[in-house]
Amino acid sequence: MPKRNSSVVGREFGNGVRYAIEQSGLTQRKLAELLDWQEAKISDLVQGKGGVNEIELRELLAYCRVDRNEVSRLVSLFRESREKGYLQFIEGGALLPLQSLIEQERLANKITTWSLTYVPGLFQIAAYIRVLMDSSSIIKPEDVDGLILLKLSRQAIFHRSREFIFYVHENALRLPVGGPEVMQAQLLHLLTMMVRPCITVRVVPRAIGAHAGAAGSFVKLDYAKFGSAVWIESLRTGLFLEDKESLSDYDDVVTVLDKQALDVDESKKLISSIEF
């Protein structure tokens, strides 16, 4: 089955439209009748495939009685769906970009992660996350507990029907985040998770020096029904890249990391040898 023409921002836009329709109490069929549209047009819209112009979108949202702020958000998403990437800023709370990543991870059937600085987020325990949040210059103290819960809930994604590959730099495992008890518990959790057949963890040793992942951490998302995407996180932004050139470049990085990393058994031995 060919992959649908649906971008990350398009899917987020489609989810927003679907929710607006559900909240209105109208069925997609009834709404199509009111708008004099084919029902398939609304189906494409909620799947993030577009097929409308901005005037038509505003008409639909008016029928659904969507409030002004949500209309502005959905129109902005609609406009951005034509771009090559999807850039989100941390505004009005630190959780929004992460929530978008969690939604895309839920849809992906293969997730490849490169972690240069820290233990990968999908493996982080609560105490490790808390230390990272407490040391952040932009996370508000009142948001810490909510962010910890959100990050932990993200880890429910692990399932044998999916494939998870992690490349982790040795320095990320040796960085003392919190005291010895926190790090010992964190590394033990990582080793425990590595037992799962769907999870592969390979360490890039610092002894090799320069390596392919020096530009920074990222997450590659591959879907059964959609084109691939790469997620990059910085201090105040989260960015999804979906253009062919970027995807090709990140695939090249993964190919070289695969050659530079220790195998699974050697990685387990290295992790087990780390002491704090």
| CA 252/CA 269 separation, integer angstroms | 27
Cα(129)–Cα(119) distance, integer angstroms: 10
Structural domains of the chain, ranges and CATH numbers in brackets = 8-83 (1.10.260.40), 86-273 (3.30.870)
| DSSP code at position 199 | E
pTM to 2 decimal places: 0.83
- The pLDDT, as a whole number, for residue 257 is 97
In this predicted structure, the answer to whether residue 246 has a pLDDT above a threshold of 80 is yes
Contact partners, residue 82, CB within 8 Å, separation at least 6: none
CA distance 62 to 26: 12
pLDDT in tens, 167-179: 999 999 999 999 9
pLDDT digits (tens, 9 = 90+) for 99-120: 889 999 999 999 999 999 999 9
When pLDDT is cut at 50, 70 and 90, the band that residue 92 belongs to is low
Alpha helices in the chain, H assignment, sequence order: 8-24, 28-35, 39-46, 54-63, 68-80, 96-107, 126-134, 144-154, 170-174, 180-193, 244-260, 264-273
Report residue 8 as tokens.
């990350």
